[in-house]
Amino acid sequence: MAIIDVTIPDIGDFDEVAVIELLVKTGDKVRAEQSLITVESDKASMEIPSSHAGVVKEMQVKLGDKVKQGSIVLKLETADSAAVSTPPSVAPAAAPAVTTASAPVIAVPAVAVAAPVTSSPAVAGAAHMVAPVTAHAVAVVAAPAHQPANALSGDLPHASPSVRKFARELGVPLNEVKGSGPKGRISQEDIQSFSRAVMTGETRTQAQAAKAPAGDGAGLGLIPWPKVDFAKFGPIERKELGRIQKISGANLLRNAVMIPAVTNHDDADITELEAFRVLTNQENEKAAKAGINASVKVTMLAFLIKACVNALQKFPQFNSSLDGDALVYKNYWHIGFAADTPNGLMVPVLKDADKKGILQISAEMGELAKKAREGKLSPAEMSGATFTISSLGGIGGRYFTPIINAPEVAILGVCKSQMEPKWNGKEFEPRLMLPLSLTWDHRVIDGAAAARFNAHLGHILADFRRILL
């Protein structure tokens, strides 16, 4: 028997977060990895797991407390006396493979969901966070977009933890809900009524909308969402949206509504680059068989990441973020890429792409995509992107209009390359053309810059040696 302190592990780029939910109490028996409390910043909420199994002897935090890495959550009596000397695992959020300690990291919204409990050492002890995205958007999605600001100030609206959780799941801003219980306590029914009212456009009166702070996205004066009894027209089946979809939807909507986005479509001639890629893979395979190096499969996306970094360096406004009336230019190039996973779309971030070669990028991308599919990405591996690429090249399609992943200002969508007849001045010749779709924020970028960005990208992809110039 031993009493140990269970502490807050590395929770990524958050200095201090508020305790918004206590999931266990004194006397409870907990398993290793079981969630103990929920904490929340303005960017994300996350459940803090137990580093060991045992019995809760004493809670050391209460609702509204501010905690950070190392803060003691509770005292735990464990059966294992060796546990005393085993500090809670706190490392994983700072995944070594791709973490850059020195680079400033933008607080990219990340969402925390109760991620599948995993026994993987890669996430053990780390806050359970998953950053989801949905179709056509590669936003690393913020926790409830309208999360009440006062949840962080300690002035928590009157509601039980389960009601808070319910509100978060629906993306309902608790501080806007009028509680019907004693002393204005908010119940689950209040949340449901609020949510229903929002869906039918009843909640915000025009007066409320007029009072809404500029830029909160409210008060668009839209007509109510159509209410249709679908069952009247044929058999239906109703399925709740997944948690990730619910949360990401609010963020996608915000990004779609608040960013004046424009998409430029273009094509890049990758005939020679594709031949080089195929050759590189053949040579790599031979070398791997001969035991000379590890086998790394190079895909077009690795070249695209490198080419994008070059274009971002030439056109730095594409690697910036809006901050009020100022533009923040980032002198680091962390590229997010959308990865299709069973949990939904995730956006792992390949850090310092400017400092890495194609083989390293390919290897890291492979690792990150694998972790994404297994739900093992750490918060650090999903944050800090300065630009995002969404590649549907392995699937198909011609062009699409990706949604910008705020606070980034541009995103590149890529579709499947195909052979096309191109006029070379004398005759048509078959060329492998890669469709590019660049969506950009018109507050920061103008059409001419976007056309130049795409043209430059195409120029690099057509002859990759230009990257050396």
Angle subtended by helix axes 447-462 and 300-314, to nearest 10 = 130
Give the span between the Cα atoms of 53 and 157, in whole angstroms: 32
- Annotate 236-268 with three-state secondary structure: CCCCCCCHHHHHHHHHHHHHHHHCCEEEEEEEE
Site size toward ligand CAO, by CB under 6 A: 23
Which residue's Cβ lies closest to ligand CAO? 393
Give the span between the Cα atoms of 465 and 441, in whole angstroms: 30
**Among 131, 156, 369, 382, contact with ligand CAO (rule: CB under 6 A):** 369
Dihedral sign for Cα 301, 303, 307, 310, please. positive
Chain residues 424-443 in contact with ligand CAO, contact rule CB under 6 A: 434
Q: How far is the CB of 124 from ligand CAO (least distance, A)?
A: 25
**Among 300, 312, 380, 460, contact with ligand CAO (rule: CB under 6 A):** 300
**Among 135, 149, 279, 451, contact with ligand CAO (rule: CB under 6 A):** 135
Cβ contact 20:40 at 8 Å: yes
Question: What percentage of the chain's residues is helix, strand, coil (to nearest 5)?
Answer: 30, 20, 45
Nearest to 345 by CA among 60, 69, 136: 136
**Which sequence positions are flagged as catalytic?**
442
Q: How far is the CB of 281 from ligand CAO (least distance, A)?
A: 7
**Among 339, 349, 382, 457, contact with ligand CAO (rule: CB under 6 A):** 339
Nearest to 72 by CA among 50, 94, 92: 50
Task: State yes or no: residue 406 binds ligand CAO (CB under 6 A).
Answer: no
Cβ contact 375:116 at 8 Å: yes
Q: How far is the CB of 258 from ligand CAO (least distance, A)?
A: 18
Tell me which stretch binds ligand CAO (CB under 6 A): 85-93, 117-125, 186-194, 334-342: 334-342
Residue 53 or 253: the one with the smaller Cβ distance to ligand CAO is 253
Cβ contact 268:455 at 8 Å: no
Nearest to 186 by CA among 198, 196, 173: 173
Binding mask 178-217 for ligand CAO (x = CB under 6 A): ----------------------------------------
Q: How far is the CB of 292 from ligand CAO (least distance, A)?
A: 21
Tell me which stretch binds ligand CAO (CB under 6 A): 164-172, 219-227, 388-396, 443-451: 388-396
> Binding residues for ligand CAO, per CB under 6 A?
135-138, 299-301, 337-340, 345, 369, 390-394, 402, 414, 416-417, 434
